[in-house]
A and B are shown apart, each in its own frame.
Chain A
Amino acid sequence: MEKYLYIALFAPLVSSLFSALFTATPKKQFVGIVASFLIFSAFVSSYILLGHIMDGGEPIHVEMMTWMATGNLYIPFGFVVDQISVTMMMVVTLVSTIVHIYSIGYMDHDKGFNRFFAWLSAFVFSMMILVMSDNYAGLFIGWEGVGLCSWGLIGFWFHKDIATWAANEAFIMNRIADLGMLIGLFLVYWNTGTLQYEGAFAAFAQLDTATLTWIGIFLFIGAMGKSAQFPLHTWLADAMEGPTPVSALIHAATMVTAGVYLVIRSNELYSLIPHVGLFIASLGAFVALFAASMALVNRDMKRIIAYSTLSQLGYMFAAAGLGAYWVALFHLMAHAFFKALLFLGAGNVMHAMHDELDPFKMGGLKKVMKWTWIMMTIASLALAGIFPFAGFFSKDTILEAAFAEHHMVIYGVLLFTAGLTAFYSFRLVALIFHGEERYKIFGIHPHEAYRFMLIAMSPLLILAMIAGVFQAPFFEMVEEILGAAEYHIHSHVTLWIMLVGTQIFVGLAILYAYKKYGTWSSVPDGSSKMENSFIYKLLYNQYYIPYAYEEYIVKPYNEISEILWTKVDQKIVDASVDGIAGFFYSAGENTRDMQSGNLSTMLKWMVAGIIILLSLAVVFGLAARYSGEIMAILSGLGV
Chain B
Amino acid sequence: MEIGLNHYLILSTILFAIGLVGVMRRKNLLLLFFATEILLNSVNIAFAAISHYYGDLTGQMFAFFVIAIAASEVAVGLGLLIVWYKRHGTIDLESMTSMRG
Residue numbers of A with Cβ under 8 A of B are 592-593, 595-600, 603-604, 607
Assembled-state Cα–Cα distance A597/B94 (Å)? 9
Contacts of B23 in A (CB 8 A): 603, 607
Taking a contact as CB atoms under 8 Å apart, the answer to whether A598 and B94 are in contact is yes
Majority secondary structure of chain B interface residues (helix, strand, loop or mixed): loop
B24 at the interface (CB under 8 A from A): yes
Instruction: Choose one: B24, B26, B98, B99; the contact of A607 (CB below 8 Å).
Output: B24
Taking a contact as CB atoms under 8 Å apart, the answer to whether B98 and A597 are in contact is yes
Assembled-state Cα–Cα distance A598/B100 (Å)? 8
Known: A598-B94, A599-B93. A607 touches B100 (CB 8 A): no
Contacts of A603 in B (CB 8 A): 23-24
Assembled-state Cα–Cα distance A607/B97 (Å)? 20
Taking a contact as CB atoms under 8 Å apart, the answer to whether B93 and A600 are in contact is yes
Give me 14 other A-B pairs in contact (C-beta within 8 A), A596-B97, A596-B100, A600-B27 excluded: A592-B101, A595-B100, A595-B101, A597-B96, A597-B97, A597-B99, A598-B93, A598-B94, A598-B100, A600-B24, A600-B93, A604-B24, A607-B20, A607-B23
Interface string of B77-99 (1 = CB under 8 A from A): 00000000000000001101111
7 contacts between A and B (CB under 8 A): A596-B100, A597-B101, A598-B94, A599-B93, A599-B96, A600-B93, A607-B20
Assembled-state Cα–Cα distance A317/B63 (Å)? 107
Q: How many A-B residue pairs have CB under 8 A?
A: 29
Contacts of A604 in B (CB 8 A): 24
Contacts of B101 in A (CB 8 A): 592-593, 595, 597
Assembled-state Cα–Cα distance A597/B93 (Å)? 10
Q: In chain B, what residue has the closest Cβ to A588?
A: B101
Majority secondary structure of chain A interface residues (helix, strand, loop or mixed): helix
**How many positions in chain B have a CB within 8 Å of any CB in the partner chain?**
13
Interface string of B36-51 (1 = CB under 8 A from A): 0000000000000000
Assembled-state Cα–Cα distance A592/B100 (Å)? 8
Assembled-state Cα–Cα distance A595/B98 (Å)? 12
Q: In chain B, what residue has the closest Cβ to A611?
A: B20
Q: In chain B, what residue has the closest Cβ to A597?
A: B100
Q: In chain A, what residue has the closest Cβ to B21?
A: A607
Assembled-state Cα–Cα distance A596/B27 (Å)? 15
Assembled-state Cα–Cα distance A607/B27 (Å)? 16
Assembled-state Cα–Cα distance A598/B99 (Å)? 9
Contacts of B97 in A (CB 8 A): 596-598
Assembled-state Cα–Cα distance A600/B24 (Å)? 6
Chain B min CB distance to A302 (Å)? 76
Contacts of B100 in A (CB 8 A): 595-598
Assembled-state Cα–Cα distance A65/B100 (Å)? 76
Assembled-state Cα–Cα distance A596/B100 (Å)? 5
Assembled-state Cα–Cα distance A596/B96 (Å)? 11
Contacts of B27 in A (CB 8 A): 600
Contacts of A593 in B (CB 8 A): 101
Assembled-state Cα–Cα distance A604/B96 (Å)? 16
Assembled-state Cα–Cα distance A592/B101 (Å)? 5
Instruction: Tell which of A592, A599, A607 has the most Cβ of chain B within 10 Å.
Output: A599
- Nearest 6 CB-CB pairings of A with B: A597-B100, A597-B97, A599-B93, A592-B101, A604-B24, A597-B99
Q: In chain B, what residue has the closest Cβ to A596?
A: B100
Chain B min CB distance to A612 (Å)? 14
Contacts of B96 in A (CB 8 A): 597-599
Contacts of B20 in A (CB 8 A): 607
Assembled-state Cα–Cα distance A185/B24 (Å)? 81
Assembled-state Cα–Cα distance A603/B23 (Å)? 7
Assembled-state Cα–Cα distance A526/B64 (Å)? 116
Chain B min CB distance to A563 (Å)? 42
Contacts of A598 in B (CB 8 A): 93-94, 96-97, 100
Chain B min CB distance to A621 (Å)? 15
Instruction: Tell which of B23, B26, B100 has the most Cβ of chain A within 10 Å.
Output: B100
Assembled-state Cα–Cα distance A253/B101 (Å)? 80
Q: In chain A, what residue has the closest Cβ to B17?
A: A607
Assembled-state Cα–Cα distance A593/B101 (Å)? 6
Assembled-state Cα–Cα distance A595/B93 (Å)? 15
Contacts of B99 in A (CB 8 A): 597
Chain A min CB distance to B31 (Å)? 12
Q: In chain A, what residue has the closest Cβ to B35?
A: A603
Contacts of A596 in B (CB 8 A): 97, 100
Chain B min CB distance to A476 (Å)? 97
Assembled-state Cα–Cα distance A599/B100 (Å)? 10
Q: In chain B, what residue has the closest Cβ to A606?
A: B23
Assembled-state Cα–Cα distance A34/B97 (Å)? 90
Chain A min CB distance to B99 (Å)? 5
Contacts of B93 in A (CB 8 A): 598-600
Contacts of A599 in B (CB 8 A): 93, 96
Beta-carbon contacts under 8 Å, B1-47 to A: 20, 23-24, 26-27
Chain B min CB distance to A214 (Å)? 68
Chain B min CB distance to A312 (Å)? 82
Chain B min CB distance to A600 (Å)? 6
Assembled-state Cα–Cα distance A153/B93 (Å)? 85
Contacts of B26 in A (CB 8 A): 600
Chain B min CB distance to A170 (Å)? 64
Assembled-state Cα–Cα distance A603/B36 (Å)? 11
Contacts of A592 in B (CB 8 A): 101
Chain A min CB distance to B35 (Å)? 9
Q: In chain A, what residue has the closest Cβ to B26?
A: A600
Contacts of A607 in B (CB 8 A): 20, 23-24
